């Protein structure tokens, strides 16, 4: 009921709900809702932390709580066993490509034989867009004259316009000129049901190995753009706009990089102090 009445009609990420429900709750499929106790949920929450990590454990708890809340909303007269169980404290990830890593990263990208793979990773870095949006990029969303990319629907449920830098335009033009089999998708796939490329994990692992980079995820390319914008004294408001953040909380992780801005502000205050001596 949760999938059919709520997730599929209202969530763009319903496939992720379906995947995780089948993966993490299957051992409860033959039990009544009322037979799952708070103790069961707490025990499983701790078990997942040990086996899969804090993030997976917390997402399981969040989704379970949401499903029970929907059941109650639809008339099920019982208590939510996920209520009152505290989430494990999460540390926001801060990894991005460091200055000394760019040379090996770009060399590894250049070494990729598939031009679509090369373009995909470069556009992630140059646009700061989410992986799902870049994978689903269409040529008719690109305005070559005004140099922007119009995403019709993002994770937040709203459209987003991304101004394209000269580097991003160069990558897109090279890909379009080299494409011998025109497709509406920028990253087409003959085997995917969606029509576009879906899973870049193998290519990413190959790139990391060739670049000798550790603990770097695909999402960190998006974080890299935001980090260097911040270090270039760009305001957090503009960084949030560039990355399509729906709330300022998502942008706060970059505040730690405003070191030079803070230093200049402190120096200005001290200079003013000494001016009055």
CA distance readout (Å), 121 to 4, 178, 220: 35, 17, 11
Beta bridge partners of residue 272, listed in sequence order: none
In a domain, 276, yes or no: no
* Integer Cα distance of 249 and 243 in angstroms: 13
Looking at residue 246, its pLDDT comes to: 73
Band (174; pLDDT cuts 50, 70, 90): very high
- Indicate whether 243 and 127 sit together in one domain: yes
Q: Looking at the domain assignment, is residue 79 inside a domain?
A: no
Q: Are residues 34 and 117 in the same domain?
A: no
Residue 273 has pLDDT above 60, yes or no: no
Residues 42 and 167 in one domain: no
Say yes or no: 119 and 43 in one domain: no
* 185 pLDDT more than 70: yes
- CATH code at position 221: 1.10.443.10
Measure the CA–CA gap between 31 and 145, rounded to whole angstroms.
59
Q: Residues 67, 135: one domain?
A: no
**Same domain for 109 and 16:** no
Which domain covers residue 136, as residue numbers? 99-260
Element (H, E) at 135: helix 131-135
**Is residue 266, in this structure, part of any structural domain at all?**
no
Claim: this prediction has a pTM higher than 0.75: no
Residue 179 has a pLDDT of 76
Question: What's the pLDDT band for 259 if we cut at 50, 70, 90?
Answer: low
Question: Which residue has tokens 């926001």?
Answer: 92
Residue 157 predicted with pLDDT over 80: no
pLDDT for the residue 268: 76
pLDDT higher at 16 or 101: 101
Q: Residues 59, 174: one domain?
A: no
Tell whether 136 and 222 lie within a shared domain: yes
Structural domain contains residue 85: no
The answer to the question of residue 64 being in a domain is: yes
Domain boundary among 73, 89, 121: 73
Residues 256, 162: one domain?
Answer: yes
Q: How many domains does one find in the chain?
A: 2
The β-bridge partners of 57 are: none
In a domain, 220, yes or no: yes
| Residue 210 tokens, joined | 């060739």
Residue 276: the pLDDT is 67
Helical packing angle, 219-231 and 236-243, nearest 10°: 150
Share of the chain above pLDDT 90, in %: 56
Contact 195, 188 (CB under 8 A): yes
């Amino acid at each position: 009921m949760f999938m059919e009445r709520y997730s599929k009609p209202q969530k763009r990420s319903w496939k992720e709900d379906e995947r995780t429900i089948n993966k993490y709750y299957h051992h409860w499929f033959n039990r009544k809702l009322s037979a799952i106790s708070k103790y069961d949920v707490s025990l499983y929450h701790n078990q997942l932390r040990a086996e899969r990590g804090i993030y997976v454990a917390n997402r399981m708890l969040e989704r379970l709580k949401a499903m029970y809340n929907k059941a109650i909303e639809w008339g099920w007269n019982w208590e939510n066993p996920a209520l009152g169980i505290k989430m494990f404290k999460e540390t926001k990830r801060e990894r991005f490509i460091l200055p000394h890593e760019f040379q090996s990263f770009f060399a590894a990208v250049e070494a990729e034989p598939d031009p679509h793979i090369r373009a995909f990773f470069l556009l992630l870095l140059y646009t700061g867009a989410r992986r799902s949006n870049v994978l689903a990029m269409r040529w008719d969303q690109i305005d070559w004259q005004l140099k922007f990319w119009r995403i019709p629907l993002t994770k937040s449920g709203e459209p987003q316009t991304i101004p394209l830098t000269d580097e991003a335009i160069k990558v897109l033009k090279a890909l379009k000129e080299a494409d011998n089999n025109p497709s509406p998708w920028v990253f087409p796939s003959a085997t995917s049901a969606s029509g576009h490329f879906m899973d870049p994990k193998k290519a990413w692992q190959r790139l990391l190995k060739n670049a000798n980079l550790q603990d770097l995820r695909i999402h960190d390319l998006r974080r890299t753009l935001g980090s260097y914008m911040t270090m270039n004294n760009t305001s957090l408001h503009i960084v949030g706009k560039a990355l399509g953040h729906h709330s300022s909380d998502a942008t706060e992780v970059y505040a730690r990089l405003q070191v030079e801005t803070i230093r200049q502000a402190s120096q200005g205050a001290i200079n003013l102090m000494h001016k009055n001596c």
